[in-house]
Amino acid sequence: MSLLEQRWEELADIKRVLAKREWFPGTSGNLAIKVNSDPISFLVTASGKDKTKETSEDFLLVDSTGQPVHDSQLKPSAETLLHVEIFNKTNAGCSLHVHTVDNNVISELYGDQGKITFKGQEIIKAYGLWEEDAEFTIPIIYNHAHIPTLAEDFSEFVKGDAGAVLIRNHGITVWGRDALEAKKFLEASEFLFSYHLKLMALKAVR
Ligand SMILES: CSCCC(=O)C(=O)COP(=O)(O)O
Ligand SMILES: [Zn+2]
């Protein structure tokens, strides 16, 4: 199997798992996986597709600027520029973006503060933070409709090979050194969002 085929399979596996969780409502969400580092190329989901369906046209290869490498009828994700920032600025190997109700509600609740910080939760270890009093902060940025502006704001928070950024009333983008790490970050983040919202709701009725 070629490297391209291997990466395709890895991304397809993640897409299948996330689709089962209903994390791609209304054609939302996009996924990317690096294929080559020099020059950079990556597979990204085709724009506007129902990501719960599996087809041979789910992904296309793009270059370091997000332009298709081969002639194709397919359009790269409208949000490819965010993945471009990640792959150009870090050694990340995979980047995942999903819209969930929980990540949207959290982004609105804490949007004015520009971040949300979690602490005292065992699952924070999924981010590689093993100290007893570890904290994990996820920045929240404004949802510019103009994607180059969104990507510019997003870029400020793309600092390491793994990370997460919430886009207010839009969704979350996470990245990691490989597909496993990116998926782990995404799952840990959605766990924390869900826990936080459930706890807030229960406290409100007590
Ligand atoms: C219908 S959701 C609006 C676009 C979006 O935010 C998204 O994640 C999906 O866009 P894409 O071009 O990647 O399909
Ligand atoms: Zn989106």
Task: Write down the domain spans for the chain.
Answer: 3-205
With a cut of 90, say whether residue 206 has pLDDT above it.
Answer: no
Span from the CA of 173 to the centroid of ligand 2 (angstroms):
9
Q: What is the pLDDT of residue 93?
A: 98
pLDDT tens, 117-151? 999 999 999 999 999 999 999 999 999 999 999 99
The mean pLDDT value of the chain amounts to 98
**Ligand 1 site: residues with CB under 6 angstroms?**
26-30, 45, 47-48, 77-79, 97
- Residue pair 100/192 in contact (Cβ under 8 Å)? The answer is no
Ion ligand 2: protein residues whose beta carbon lies under 5 Å = 171
Span from the CA of 123 to the centroid of ligand 1 (angstroms):
28
Q: What is the pLDDT of residue 169?
A: 98
pLDDT tens, 58-110? 999 999 999 999 999 999 999 999 999 999 999 999 999 999 999 999 999 99
pTM over 0.90: yes
Q: What mean pLDDT is predicted for residues 194-206?
A: 97
CA distances from 41 to 8, 11, 34, 73, 94 (A): 13, 14, 6, 18, 12
For residue 188, what are its two tokens?
Answer: 């840990």
CA distances from 189 to 7, 31, 48, 133, 135 (A): 24, 16, 25, 17, 13
Of all residues in the chain, what percent carry a pLDDT higher than 70? 100
Q: What mean pLDDT is predicted for residues 159-164?
A: 97
**What fold characterizes domain 3-205?**
L-fuculose-1-phosphate Aldolase (3.40.225)
